[in-house]
Amino acid sequence: GNKRFVNGVEVYDFTYINWFWIGAALLSVLLALLVWNASSKE
């Protein structure tokens, strides 16, 4: 993230990295469900 100083305190801007992790988490859950559904249909 981007490190900024606000009132003398370090503040990290993780907006984009947060969206990245949220997207990665959703993808991992969807893939896990697809794999589980595919294996459970056998």
How does pLDDT run across 4-26, given as a tens digit for each residue? 777 888 777 778 888 899 999 99
Residue pair 14/24 in contact (Cβ under 8 Å)? The answer is no
User: Are 40 and 31 in contact, with CB atoms under 8 Å apart?
Assistant: no
What pLDDT was estimated at residue 1?
61
Residue whose entry in the numeric block shows the structure tokens 């859950």: 29
What is the predicted pLDDT for the residue at 18? 84
Q: Supply the pTM of this predicted model.
A: 0.51
Q: Is pLDDT at 42 greater than 80 in this prediction?
A: no
